[in-house]
Amino acid sequence: MHKDRYDYFMDETYNKNANKGFFIVCLLIIIFFVLTSITYALFNIKYGYITIENVSMQPTLNPTPINGSDGQPVQDSVFIERTTDVTYGDIVIVDRSEETGRENYTVVKRVMALEGDKICLALLPVGEAGEYEMRFIRIKAGEDIDELIYTGASDEHIIYEDYIKSYLEWSSQAQRELYGSGYYYDAEYLENYIEKFDTEIIDVIVGGQTFKLKFFTVGSNKDSSAPDQVFCMGDNRLQSEDGRKTGTASQNDIVGKVISVVRNGNAPSLDFFSWVRVLGEYLRLIFEEIIAYFTV
């Protein structure tokens, strides 16, 4: 009789402990999912994760896309910071839905100029041996300059862009002579800016030769309802439909700027470690936010 009571007591104790352990495990799982959901929601307020689906930013993005089982290229992914506060050289995601009529249509480009900057895209004898190369020329807003003298590859106005895909190809294929001037401009810049809007002639001096080039002022063709215009281009100049053709964009249309790149980030079936890289960047950004919070 005593043994039966002992066994009954032990069974009851075991069941209570088992139920208690099961409850604790369930509680921990619930807490984990709640914290994960909150973290994810807070993360997406400030950051975003986007797959890049074209080659307009080669070689910076999608330099060597790999093909999936369906033959379609698997592209790089990027983490972005959701902000409209951008500056020169930032790679940004721009919402072009309104002008294209396509819902949630975005493009990825590099910020080249801001509101009030004077810009030009022209062919100049700036190569090492005096070869003609296409260059982006920028005079920042507020700079009172009516003459530019080329000082070499590091020139702050006649800019050498070491990130673009093939200066040689861009320079040799993207030319068009401005009627009667004898100067060559980027064809799309010529067609969509020089021939459509008011421009300002500024002397650009290279190797003692003076080029009277036509500059467009960013935002000069917009009214007050479209403030803070930016001019953007893709790094792959020959395969990028960008600001040269589509015009400038308002900073309000900028979804965010790229802060991290994950090569072939959406290809776990082809690259087993792609998900590790994505998770690693995700955790790194969260960790940096935690450090910044406690530092403040």
Above 60 in pLDDT, residue 108? Answer: yes
Q: How far apart are CA 261 and CA 279, in angstroms?
A: 12
Q: 54 lies in a domain?
A: yes
Q: 277 lies in a domain?
A: no
Q: 254 lies in a domain?
A: yes
Torsion sign (Cα): 5, 8, 12, 14: positive
What CATH number is associated with residue 237?
2.10.109.10
Copy the structure tokens of residue 218.
């960013």
Are residues 127 and 188 part of one domain?
A: yes
Give burial (CB, 10 Å; 0-12/13-18/19+) of 214: buried
Are residues 189 and 132 part of one domain?
A: yes
Paired with 200 in beta bridges are 215
Q: Residue 65: is the preceding peptide bond cis (ω within 30°)?
A: no
Copy the structure tokens of residue 196.
């459509």
Are residues 108 and 63 part of one domain?
A: yes
Q: 34 lies in a domain?
A: no
Domain residue limits at 203: 117-217
pLDDT band per the 50, 70, 90 thresholds, residue 267: low
Count of domains forming the chain: 2
Model pLDDT for residues 198-236, shown as the tens digit of each residue: 999 999 999 899 999 999 999 998 887 777 999 999 999
Q: 1 lies in a domain?
A: no
Are residues 234 and 108 part of one domain?
A: yes
Q: 25 lies in a domain?
A: no
Are residues 186 and 147 part of one domain?
A: yes
Are residues 171 and 80 part of one domain?
A: no
Model pLDDT for residues 21-62, shown as the tens digit of each residue: 677 778 777 877 776 677 667 777 889 998 888 889 999 998
Q: 76 lies in a domain?
A: yes
Are residues 240 and 93 part of one domain?
A: yes
Above 80 in pLDDT, residue 269? Answer: no
Are residues 103 and 233 part of one domain?
A: yes
Instruction: Tell which wins on pLDDT, 153 or 22.
Output: 153
Are residues 212 and 127 part of one domain?
A: yes
What do you get for the CA distance between the two ends of the chain, in Å? 68
Are residues 160 and 100 part of one domain?
A: no
Are residues 204 and 62 part of one domain?
A: no
Q: 153 lies in a domain?
A: yes
Are residues 121 and 101 part of one domain?
A: no
